[in-house]
Amino acid sequence: MPQSASDRLVLFFATGFYSGYSSVAPGTAGSAVGVAAYFLLRPLGWPAYAAVTLAVTLAGIWISGRAETLFGQKDSKHIVIDEIAGQLIALFMAPPAWWAILAGFGLFRLFDITKFWPISTFEKLKGGAGVMLDDVAAGLLALAVLQIILMVI
């Protein structure tokens, strides 16, 4: 387990501000942090939202790779920065309507949990890329489906 201040900071972010230590559904808890981030970022406009989402995703690759080493296992259930990034992607450009947010949340969790092809192919990557990119793919798929639903409605 971590000894240095930098290791503790890595785990703070990797675990989604410790939401990944939830005893029940840590991935869902991490996704809830992503929804909270959506509410904080949405008023800043889509360019800032996109920039922060990209930063979380790119930093998450390094952070989750380091966290794997600290936890001593591949893609520990406590690492949820990938869920935060995926949820932010799923909710990109979503209106602040409760049903749209709930739909984006549900779609992302569905695709993240089922990990059907091609999402599952990203899990096979090593290190932080393997942790993050399957959730990025699930987030992109959830984003596409949510946007189609919004166009139809």
Strand ranges, E, within the chain? none
Q: Does residue 14 sit in helix, strand or coil? A: helix
> What is the Cα–Cα distance from 47 to 1, expressed in whole angstroms?
37
pLDDT at residue 86, as a whole number: 98
Calculate the alpha carbon distances from 57 to 16, 25, 60, 80, 153 in Å. Answer: 13, 21, 5, 12, 30
In this predicted model, what pLDDT tens digit does every residue of 81-120 receive, in sequence order? 999 999 999 999 999 999 999 999 999 999 999 999 989 9
In this predicted model, what pLDDT tens digit does every residue of 49-67 receive, in sequence order? 999 999 999 999 999 999 9
Q: Does residue 128 contact residue 63 with C-beta atoms inside 8 Å? A: yes
Side-chain-side CA neighbours of 88 within 13 Å: the count stands at 29
